[in-house]
A and B are shown apart, each in its own frame.
Chain A
Amino acid sequence: MITAIASIGAIAALAAMFGLLLGYSAIRFHVEGDPVADQVEVMLPQSQCGQCGYPGCRPYAEAVASGEAEISLCLPGGEGAMLAMAELLGREPAKMGEIAEKPKCVAVIDEQTCIGCTKCLQACPVDAIVGAAKQLHGILRSECTGCELCRAPCPVNSIRMEPIPETLATWKWPFPTYQRLPLPAAARIEHAPSVSAPVELEQREAA
């Protein structure tokens, strides 16, 4: 009997001790916010465009982290962001939307038509538009994320999107695919040899 009481007492004491320890560490090592959402947020392009249906990148990251949103909703992030999220969350890579990936763009204000209403200033999520009431507005190219949020509020449709031209600094080598090499232009002109049509082997490459 005494043994039973002693053991119950010992277990109870242990339980209390561990309970206190756990309770203390929950306070001591408390993590503010959702660390998974933070990790997801880093993967998003931060254009704050809202194309995912959430009011910005942070809310979408939180929704993805809690499992209520699909990982394929971020269009500016494209396949890269989707694959990164799939990897992090251990989810199956989802199919991206039907919309083809657009080239990166920046917004440009047409100086002729801008009336200086400041509506686009208020819409820009990254403060990339400068201007004042009844003054011509300007867009800082280096800050613009190309989210297109400024286009809708413009009452005179004076904002257009311009693709960012590729430069030597931003050019990327293409993913290697086998093609029978077409002859250099100069040789074609001089000798005009028969050139077999380039063989597209991307499908075979993929298979």
Chain B
Amino acid sequence: MFSLLKKRHLSNATGRKRKLWQFHGGVHLPEEKHLSNGKPLRDAPLPAQLVIPLQQHIGAPARACVRVGERVLKGQLIGEPEGYISAPVHASSSGLVSAIEPRAAAHPSGLQVPCVVIETDGADQWAELPEPIMDYQAADAATLRQRIRDCGVVGMGGASFPSNVKLNPGADQPIDTLIINGVECEPYISCDDLLMRGQAADIIDGISIMLRVLGAKQCLVGIEDNKPEAILAMQQAVVLAATGKVIGRPRAGETGSNQISAKQIVKGQARNAFAERIQVVKIPTLYPSGGEKQLIKILTGKEVPSHGIPAQVGIVCQNVGTAKAVADAVLRGQPLIERLVTVSGRGVAHPCNSRVRVGSLASGLIAASGGYRGALAKLVIGGPMMGFRVDSDALPVTKATNCILALTPEESPDSGEPLACIRCGRCAEVCPANLLPQQMYWHARAKNLDKTQDYNLFDCIECGCCAHVCPSHIPLVQYYRYAKTESWAREREKRASEHARERHEAREARIERLERERQSMLRRKKEAIAPKSKAPKAAASTSTGAANDQGDPKKTAIEAARKRAAEKKAAAAKVVASTSEAAPKSAASQASGSAPASAPVFADEDQH
């Protein structure tokens, strides 16, 4: 049973025990985090050139609001958001804008996207930042959300969804729990680990702000048990913020040991009321515990509905990096212009974590890590499981780039040509989304996209567990990615053709209507010409009843005109007589009685 309840030993910052659940499947992977997590965090050197993509988030790309040749300052807005689901982009250092042009993006397609290129001047001069909102506990949620949006904060776990949108689930979806994702389950990556060890207090501030915005009752911080230092640092920070007390005895020589500085204690004494709601939860190491739906399952036992979002079950999930960025935005007014990036793999000389400006090129980071070492099998942006292979290292770091991997052939052996599926079913055993990877594979391979969707293709999180365990080395995730993007493309085409059909039908209807109108106009015109022969006939037949069809039309017309004149005279005389001697009532009745007689007269006049 997938919903197997498992109680696990667990202690959190406040000493309470918490029950944990398990998601279906998952795999244990070689962690390889030791390559980078033992080294101190460094600041990456300021590159001579920054290439800042205008689309680093899900939604509409930002619109450049600077011009080529303009001098920009660090933190200055260079891309305005277009629409609600969009995010602004800021300059990550001061310098001159040398170009606004398409450049290769860190994307599996290798396509070019519009970027703002800044030649840095080395001054690293800050622009005027918005006023910090120190008293966020009293601040309005909408104000805080607006600040988060203005500072360009997006989800930093990888999907880069605009955070202000995620923090605004709407009144119909009350949020009970905020989940902070510090799991970092992919091998090699350790930037969130270093962030939690070094800046736990900031993360707690960010969490408190998000709790204020969402009005959530509790916050669970999920961290895998392979990061004991990060867990300790976070627990210390929570207790410090809540009570002002320092807990735990940091071991000597530990990276995170001296993080509780005097300054932070002073800050902690302000007593953060929200910190009492925060609970740090240690979870067992299992890939992919860091998946949003998987983490929700582990921590709360709730399952997010298929095609649904966590807000539907009263949960919002955010990455620890996002919490830090929220704290920077609200408490310091700083936009999101830098992030921690792991440069790792045995193909680089000195793997490490560094604080990197958005827009720095991967090549510069690798050079700062001592350059390449030995033969490379591939270069990967992101983790080895969910990341994507790139062909060049001249790619800018975006808000979502958490890792750059240079893998050697030993680390990433070419498994050779895929063999036939032997239907062993191991993919289904490890699938954390409870899908049937094998069935989806067959249908995707046959390009039978509707069938893949019957097997809930769109619930696949592309974690790569199925491909990892496949004894035939079938690139299963590639098939699902193909099927997903192809389905979206077909959907787009269908919508476009539906739109075209509507327009075509509207055009046909318009042409038909115009034709009808033209016809009726022609008919009216014809009638306007015709009455010379026809209307008198009618008049003659009504008045005399002895009209001669074969007679001269002119004569009959004159005859008719005379008759009409006589009738008119008679009618006028009658009306005058009746009004002069009789009551208005009888006059009215007589006038109405004479109306039928006068009607054809007017009609005739109209025609002439």
Known A-B contacts A57-B501, A185-B392; the reply to A127 vs B506 at CB < 8 A is yes
> Bound state CA distance, A47 and B500, in angstroms?
7
B482 engages A126 (CB within 8 Å): no
Interface of A is mostly: loop
Contact check: which of A48, A176, A187, A204 meets B482 at CB < 8 Å?
A176
> Bound state CA distance, A45 and B379, in angstroms?
40
A45 engages B482 (CB within 8 Å): no
Q: Counting CB contacts under 8 A, is B105 at the interface?
A: yes
Q: Counting CB contacts under 8 A, is A197 at the interface?
A: no
Q: Counting CB contacts under 8 A, is B107 at the interface?
A: yes
Q: Counting CB contacts under 8 A, is B376 at the interface?
A: yes
Q: Which of A33-48 contact B (CB under 8 A)?
A: 41-42, 44-48
| Residue of A128, A170, A186 most packed against chain B (CB within 10 A) | A186
Contact check: which of A41, A48, A168 meets B107 at CB < 8 Å?
A168
B506 engages A46 (CB within 8 Å): no
What band does the interface of chain A fall in when counting residues whose beta carbon is under 8 Å from B? 35 or more
Complex contacts, B475 vs chain A, CB 8 Å: 176, 178
**Extra inter-chain contacts (20) besides given A48-B500, A176-B479, CB under 8 Å:** A42-B494, A56-B504, A127-B503, A127-B506, A143-B500, A145-B500, A167-B111, A170-B489, A171-B485, A173-B485, A184-B391, A185-B391, A186-B366, A186-B372, A186-B376, A186-B379, A187-B372, A190-B371, A193-B375, A201-B417
> Bound state CA distance, A207 and B111, in angstroms?
31
Chain A, 109-126, contact with B by CB distance < 8 Å: what is the 0/1 string?
A: 000000000000000011
Residue in A closest to B417 when the chains form the complex, CB atoms:
A178
Nearest Cβ distance between residue B305 and chain A, in whole angstroms? Answer: 26
Give the 9 A-B residue pairs with the shortest CB-CB distance, closest first.
A187-B376, A176-B478, A46-B500, A46-B497, A172-B485, A173-B481, A184-B379, A126-B503, A46-B501
Complex contacts, B497 vs chain A, CB 8 Å: 44-47
Complex contacts, B363 vs chain A, CB 8 Å: 186
Known A-B contacts A171-B111, A172-B489, A201-B417; the reply to A184 vs B105 at CB < 8 A is no
Residue in A closest to B507 when the chains form the complex, CB atoms:
A127
> Bound state CA distance, A41 and B498, in angstroms?
10
Q: Counting CB contacts under 8 A, is A183 at the interface?
A: yes
Residue in B closest to A193 when the chains form the complex, CB atoms:
B375
Contact check: which of B109, B371, B376 meets A171 at CB < 8 Å?
B109
Complex contacts, A191 vs chain B, CB 8 Å: 372, 374-376
Complex contacts, B406 vs chain A, CB 8 Å: 187
Contact check: which of B347, B375, B482, B506 meets A172 at CB < 8 Å?
B482
| Residue of B375, B379, B479, B500 most packed against chain A (CB within 10 A) | B500
> Bound state CA distance, A174 and B347, in angstroms?
28
Q: Counting CB contacts under 8 A, is B127 at the interface?
A: no
Q: Counting CB contacts under 8 A, is B302 at the interface?
A: no
Complex contacts, B390 vs chain A, CB 8 Å: 184
Chain B, 23-67, contact with A by CB distance < 8 Å: what is the 0/1 string?
A: 000000000000000000000000000000001000000000000
Complex contacts, A170 vs chain B, CB 8 Å: 489, 492
Q: Which of B480-508 contact A (CB under 8 A)?
A: 481-482, 484-486, 488-490, 492-494, 496-501, 503-504, 506-507
> Bound state CA distance, A206 and B16, in angstroms?
58
What is the number of residues of chain B that contact chain A, defined by CB distance less than 8 Å?
52
| Residue of B479, B494, B501 most packed against chain A (CB within 10 A) | B501
Q: Counting CB contacts under 8 A, is B393 at the interface?
A: yes
A125 engages B485 (CB within 8 Å): no
User: Would you give 19 A-B contacts (Cβ < 8 Å), ordered by A?
Assistant: A47-B497, A47-B500, A128-B503, A143-B503, A145-B496, A166-B109, A173-B481, A173-B482, A174-B482, A176-B478, A178-B475, A180-B414, A181-B389, A181-B414, A184-B390, A184-B393, A185-B392, A187-B375, A193-B375
> Bound state CA distance, A204 and B416, in angstroms?
13
Q: Counting CB contacts under 8 A, is B377 at the interface?
A: yes
Known A-B contacts A127-B506, A172-B486; the reply to A183 vs B375 at CB < 8 A is yes
A190 engages B482 (CB within 8 Å): no
> Bound state CA distance, A105 and B261, in angstroms?
62
Residue in A closest to B486 when the chains form the complex, CB atoms:
A172
Known A-B contacts A45-B497, A168-B105, A186-B363; the reply to A181 vs B378 at CB < 8 A is yes
Complex contacts, B447 vs chain A, CB 8 Å: 175
Nearest Cβ distance between residue A31 and chain B, in whole angstroms? Answer: 20
B498 engages A204 (CB within 8 Å): no
Q: Counting CB contacts under 8 A, is A80 at the interface?
A: yes
Complex contacts, B122 vs chain A, CB 8 Å: none
Nearest Cβ distance between residue A182 and chain B, in whole angstroms? Answer: 8
Complex contacts, A127 vs chain B, CB 8 Å: 503, 506-507
| Residue of A41, A125, A201 most packed against chain B (CB within 10 A) | A125
